[in-house]
Structure 1
Amino acid sequence: MRKTLFTASALALALAAPFAQAFEAGDIIVRAGAITVDPHEDSSDVKVGGAAQGGTGATLNSDTQLGLNFAYMVTDKVGVELLAATPFSHDVGTKGLGGLKLGELKHLPPTLSVIYYPMEKTSAFQPYVGAGINYTWFFDDKLTSEAENSALQLRGLDMKDSWGLAAQVGMDYMLTDNLMLNAQVRYIDIDTTGTTYSEAADAKIKVDVDVDPFVYMVGLGYKF
């Protein structure tokens, strides 16, 4: 008897899911989950007083934070979405400089996108694509004590903010008329310049970095 009831319940859920209504014009969608920024950086040589030091460069590590999405459906298939998150923290390393850990930084990468859902709203599975613009604000840039006490005697660190394009693919799966599972992947064009000063060389030190991260997010969403 229990097995029959379990089978009937599972069948009811399976049949109900495809009939969960997806999105309509005027809907507001809020998503939250774990978001990871994974830099795929391409760095220039470090320049000391304008002279490039061959075989050198900068590196950045990955970080995971709380990600937030807010979307408004303009039509049943087209929406406008804002990506937000708690601040990301990255270690700034070097190559060709004895593995010197240069510093630490934080950033916020708000991204505004237009998203498009190709499936009919009667489908529980809702893949989508999107494209938009990103602004990355770097703050709390600071050198490590290792960098300050190195032979270069570095002083101060500044990272330039960035504007760039962003693209994404994602999917929602409607668990109910309002609750959904979400997964998304983005590529964001982030370019920055790091600047510090060497007392030992009496010169400004600069490095250009194309951060260009892939951004991964998995979480839950709710439609209002």
Structure 2
Amino acid sequence: MRNLIALVLGSAAAIAPPAHAEAGDVYLRLRGIVVAPNESSGSILPAFPGEKVKVDNSVMPEVDVTWMATDHIGLELIAATTKHSASGRTGTTGGIGKLASTWVLPPTLTAQYHPIPDGPVRPYIGIGVNYTAFYSEKPSAALEAAVGETRVSMKDSFGWALQAGVDVDLTKKVFVNLDVKYLDIDTTATLRTTAAGTQRVRVSLDPLVFGVGLGIRL
């Protein structure tokens, strides 16, 4: 797979006409992304000390817009939403398995540095902030079978972001994009149950977001 990607990028660079990223340019990208949480969970308290949760990956499309403030500095805003499930790891909650699901909306703004704005292959790095909103939180059927009717809520998060990527021209307007981001996302999940009372668990999600797609210079 690594060799195939290198071949595609090398071929694109060889055939693409010269292009130049200039101040005022606007890029629109459509990526397919894999959001892979690197979760670190606290205990589910107060009823299940020592029992933690894990969060699954998600695959979704993503749209982003970049505005070049100068030849070398760009501002990128991304918009994507993904659905994730949280499951118990061990003990009682591990036996239940899937505990809850939520949709996650993390709009992220990064300031990018483009060291080679005048080439057909243009790497960049970025740093910025994200605000993450959790919505449509739902308990699993297995959880409600174990502890009765349950309401789930998750606290929104504000954190930083890191980014690295590359644009490879196919034509003067169309390019391939490869991108990876790290998002700092922390939340507290609250489960209000009939049989077990109110339980809370602190989770640092901190996902890596891997993206590949196409872009167009508007």
TM-score between the two structures when normalised by the length of structure 2: 0.89
* 1:137–1:162 CA contact under 8 A, matched in 2: yes
**Is the contact between residue 33 and residue 210 of structure 2 (CA under 8 Å) also seen in structure 1?**
yes
Q: Corresponding residue for 1:223?
A: 217
Once the two structures are TM-superposed, the CA of residue 22 in structure 1 deviates from its matched residue by 2.7
Letter in structure 2 aligned against 1:155: T
Gaps of 5+ in 2: 1-11
Amino acid at match of 2:36: D
- Whether 2:166 is the aligned partner of 1:171: answer yes
Give the greater-gyration-radius structure (CA): 1
1:106 aligns with 103
Distance 1:158 1:174, change over 3 A: same
Match of 1:5 in 2: none
Q: CA RMSD in A?
A: 1.6
Equivalent pairs: percent with the same residue?
Answer: 36
Structure 1 outlier segments of 4+, above 3 Å? 13-16
Aligned with residue 126 of structure 2, among 123, 130, 144: 130
Q: CA deviation at 1:100?
A: 2.7
Structure 1 unaligned spans of 5+: 1-12
Question: Is it true that 1:94 corresponds to 2:88 in the alignment?
Answer: yes
- 1:68 — aligned with what? 63
CA contact (8 A) 2:36 2:56 kept: yes
Cα contact 2:88–2:97 (8 A) shared by 1: yes
Contact kept, 8 Å, 1:188 with 1:213, in 2: the verdict is: yes
CA contact (8 A) 2:13 2:169 kept: no
Counterparts of 1:168 and 1:162, CA distance in 2: 19
Q: Give the TM-score of the pair, scaled to structure 1.
A: 0.86
State the partner residue of 2:152: 157
Distance 1:107 1:198, change over 3 A: same
